[in-house]
Structure 1
């Protein structure tokens, strides 16, 4: 019984930490503005609990991103399984979904890119986006090197660039999404795509 209670407490602590970290990063104007101390206080746990559960700041940020990404990843999988859209449109929809996620979570994602990881490209969420985008690009006629093209397109929506364009350059999210769609046309070669139109959701 004691072990079961301990597991329940640990689960509650984990959820409290993730919720606190999520809220703090969302409210912060800088990825550097949220410390482990801040998160511990907001979650009502000891700082040692954070390090035992998540290892370090990078591990905690990764866990928060994973929890935020889970419903989006499910929606993306379902959309990829749906029929009716062309391969080119699927690539645009994937990039647009990733961009919207980064716009909404740009401080959290910027923190991930600067959290002491050896490379943002080794992050689990990056590997997932790259793989699903690469697979979609392979279905677009005339795309050479889908693997590299996927990396290049994702580089165009790095979180630090998204934050700079929106927070410093005052670019609107709508303008940024339109710019990304135009950039994709340049990369893939602009041509008509009668099988799909851009989703505005």
Structure 2
């Protein structure tokens, strides 16, 4: 390889690194802007255009990185849910491994309720984006990675204690209550202690632990 070819390759490597760094900065700027707008405005008012303007990027950059408004909201939700997933898989009991299935399930729904209450506008924005999405190719809520992980975790804990029931169906029913309007409105208002207690009562009854 001659001197000029080496210089050219070196420049290409540097350009690729700068592009990756720029893309990472843009991603964080967009997510921060979306989160800040959701703190100050109703979810339906947080459009891709407003997010792009607040992040200092073009609207095309948002679409290129996240695909759609729904994709942006899902990515932001995923960021918030990642800590919970790590606690479930690697953290201390009762949320993490080491406790009984009923105790872990109670702890999980308490953590989910707290997470939802802290991010009420974000969850509402994601629901709004799902309802108003234009592309039929968008995945339904039940196909997104967060829901899939939550459903698998809940199903496995139920099945461990109650192999006589349809654990997958019951898991859908329990998780589905988070999106019922009376429950969702409480979460948007930051009220989750009562919901956590109600989930605990349902779980203990289901698992046969009074």
Q: Same-fold call, TM > 0.5?
A: yes
Question: Which deviates further from its counterpart, 131-140 or 155-164?
Answer: 155-164
Q: Select the residue among 64, 71, 74 that pairs with 1:59.
A: 71
SS in structure 1 at match of 2:178: coil
Cα distance, 1:8 vs structure 2: 1.0
Matched, 1:144 2:191: no
Q: Which has the larger radius of gyration?
A: 2
Structure with greater contact order relative to length (CA < 8 Å, sep ≥ 6): 1
Are positions 1:88 and 2:107 aligned together?
Answer: no
For structure 2, the 5+ residue unaligned runs are 1-13
**Structure 1: runs of 5+ lacking an equivalent:** 193-201
Partner of 2:112: 98
2:33 is aligned, of 15, 20, 26, to 20
Moved more, 61-70 or 117-126: 117-126
Larger relative helix fraction: 2
Task: Please state how far the C-alpha of 1:142 moved relative to its aligned partner.
Answer: 5.8
Normalised by the length of structure 2, the TM-score is: 0.79
Give CA-to-partner distance per residue, 1:121-155, whole Å, 9 cap, x none: 12221111101111111111465111111111101
TM, length-normalised to structure 1: 0.82
* Number of corresponding residues: 187
Pair 1:175 & 2:188 matched? no
8 Å contact from structure 2 (residues 155, 171) kept in 1 = yes
CA RMSD of aligned residues (A): 2.2
